[in-house]
Structure 1
């Protein structure tokens, strides 16, 4: 018995009945055994669906959150099966096409997930990408347009140094300072 689908959708299910007939005779009971019927539900793993609405949000000095929304079908499959068929999400940060850091985020049944990257280099431009993975394969990449999936890392500036206040005349004050090296 074989069920085949070249491109199953994550969380798809197939229900079918299995009939097992027993016509054997049990001499000790002197009766025929009844037929057995059982319903089997098969949940198809399939290729995970692409995450949608992948965005970044600054999370303080040298930190950024990458946030994504799961495809509605993925969320429904998780709620119905009490587990996500997308095992994890891989989140990559790249510079010039080279992966500089990545994180693996375990999947759950919530519609929105996120992860935080810290210790980013201020002033550097990072491209971000989110890929769902399961035991079968990976989703398509969220990095469809690199210009739309990038951010510049920011840092909280250091306070000015050598702050000096002087009076120029009765109505004018002069404020001067030294710019910090960072």
Structure 2
């Protein structure tokens, strides 16, 4: 008689598969994001630092590109070219303070976020929550590939404890979540 499968391992494998299905772009019906679309912004103030090739947006910042919206308290915009010459090309957004990225049927929240326009990747860090409908997954870091629509969350930075000298005493974290199950007759 074959040995019974290791139940905790089976549960973990099933949960990992469910997480991939729940947050994978194709399973969610997410289409490829148009990262070539114009980027509109709205903020209470802007500080141009043209010699450093950056602009700092602050105060209820909203950035929109195609069907995606990023909101935060503060966003540093990195660019190449000069604003004065009228030839800036945005390459990256670094957002902080209640960062939210919304796409159709999907919302991610975190303390910090980076949108690397050249790589077409959004990385969110710190108390990350990804929600679609009534399904929710939480962790320490979210990586969203805008070309494929694939999202992955890991426990990085969750539960990290540091000693007074800065060394890591305890590291690691878990990804947690809840998937809803449709009612059956």
Structure with the bigger percentage of helix: 2
TM-score by length of 2: 0.22
Larger Rg, first or second structure (1 or 2): 1
TM-score by length of 1: 0.22
Structure with the bigger percentage of strand: 2
